[in-house]
């Protein structure tokens, strides 16, 4: 649920989101061997005809009574690479490794429209169901969730918002660069800012990261604003996924609105309160 102080849920006609990732981290599927991954791809191949091998992702598990863990769960097993199954346009992506399943929507063309959370999450559930059915039919075990994850990646063109606010601190008011007196240091050339918030009932954390980058294709400045909700509720089951993801999405929407300047939301991104 959202904090009581948040009374309205904003929507955006032109959101700066370029990627959404839904994922689940689960107990190691020790019975899955390299040959099985080829069989798994066949289940996805009609929609995801491209396959790429990638390095494994080490899980960062949210904890509250001990330090956060970030170690692979595969130390006593021969490694199998993380697999990407991609659509022809590469705008949608399924990722699988022995302890993780993810679905990505990506904006590959500026005219691509963000399909909205419910459509992305429905696709994630559908493809996750394919994995679960494959494991069941192949007697390879079942998914035991350890953590859920929802990430929104936003790319913001500083030139687009320059008419509404001044600099990074104007766009993100909590990140203001003091200019009320002469400074020895000029405004920084680049910066990275990270902040975290505890989700209700210790169901995880919301992580917000702001980085200044240079667009590899255009060589123009770019602000990458990433929001990740990560954790799991008291009910650690597949059936509990929709409830957790709905809560996580609400916090990401609320966090985006809270951390960015309202005027930019209205003029650059077409904010509507519904």
Structure tokens at 60: 């960062």
pLDDT digits (tens, 9 = 90+) for 98-112: 999 999 999 999 899
Question: Is this model's pTM higher than 0.85 or not?
Answer: yes
- Residue 126 resides in a domain: yes
- Residue 4 resides in a domain: no
CA 106 from centroid of its chain's CA atoms: 11
- Residue 145 resides in a domain: yes
Q: Report, as an integer, the average pLDDT of 209-237.
A: 92
DSSP, collapsed to helix, strand or coil, labels residue 229 as strand
Residue 245: which pLDDT band, with cuts at 50, 70 and 90?
Answer: very high
Q: How many helices (H) and strands (E) does the chain have?
A: 6, 11
- Residue 263 resides in a domain: yes
Q: Which residues contact 19 (CB under 8 A, 6 or more apart)?
A: 104, 105, 106, 107, 151, 152, 153
- Residue 265 resides in a domain: yes
Phi, psi of 225 (to 5 degrees): -115, 110
* Strand 17-26 versus strand 100-106 pairing type: antiparallel
Number of domains observed in the structure of the chain: 1
Residue 164 exposed, middle or buried by CB count within 10 Å (0-12, 13-18, 19+): middle
pLDDT digits (tens, 9 = 90+) for 22-81: 999 999 999 999 999 999 999 999 999 999 999 999 988 999 876 555 444 445 778 899
pLDDT digits (tens, 9 = 90+) for 142-158: 999 999 999 999 999 98
- Residue 99 resides in a domain: yes
Amino acid 6: pLDDT? 45
Amino acid 262: pLDDT? 94
Amino acid 68: pLDDT? 53
Beta bridge partners of 97: 100
- Residue 137 resides in a domain: yes
pLDDT digits (tens, 9 = 90+) for 117-150: 999 999 999 999 999 999 999 999 999 999 999 9
The string of DSSP codes covering 63-86 is -SSSPPB---S-TTS----EEEEE
- Residue 2 resides in a domain: no
Could you tell me the residue range of the domain that residue 89 belongs to?
10-273
Q: Do residues 60 and 69 make contact, with C-beta atoms less than 8 angstroms apart?
A: yes
pLDDT digits (tens, 9 = 90+) for 155-209: 999 888 877 777 788 899 998 877 778 889 887 777 899 999 999 999 999 999 9
Amino acid 161: pLDDT? 85
Amino acid 72: pLDDT? 46
């Amino acid at each position: 649920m959202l904090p009581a102080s948040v009374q309205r849920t904003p929507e955006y006609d032109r959101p700066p989101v370029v990627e959404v990732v839904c994922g689940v981290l689960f107990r190691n599927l020790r019975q899955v061997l390299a040959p099985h991954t080829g069989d798994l791809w066949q289940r996805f191949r009609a929609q995801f005809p491209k396959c790429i091998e990638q390095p494994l992702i080490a899980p960062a598990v949210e904890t509250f009574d001990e330090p956060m863990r970030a170690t692979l769960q595969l130390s006593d097993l021969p490694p199998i690479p993380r697999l990407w199954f991609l659509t022809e346009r590469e705008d949608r992506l399924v990722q699988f490794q022995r302890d993780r399943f993810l679905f990505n929507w990506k904006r590959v063309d500026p005219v691509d429209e963000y399909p909205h959370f419910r459509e992305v999450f429905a696709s994630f559930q559908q493809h996750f169901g394919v994995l679960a059915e494959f494991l069941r039919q192949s007697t390879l075990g079942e998914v035991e969730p350890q953590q859920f994850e929802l990430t929104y990646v936003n790319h913001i063109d500083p030139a687009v918002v320059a008419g509404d606010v001044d600099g990074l601190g104007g766009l993100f008011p909590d990140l203001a660069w003091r200019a009320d007196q002469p400074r020895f240091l000029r405004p920084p050339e680049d910066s990275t800012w990270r902040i975290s918030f505890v989700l209700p009932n210790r169901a995880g954390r919301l992580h917000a990261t702001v980085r200044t980058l240079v667009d590899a294709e255009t060589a123009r400045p770019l602000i990458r604003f990433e929001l990740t909700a990560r954790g799991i509720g008291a009910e650690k089951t597949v059936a509990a996924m929709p409830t957790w993801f709905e809560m996580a999405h609400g916090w990401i929407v609320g966090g985006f609105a809270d951390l960015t300047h309202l005027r930019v939301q209205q003029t650059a991104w077409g904010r509507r309160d519904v």
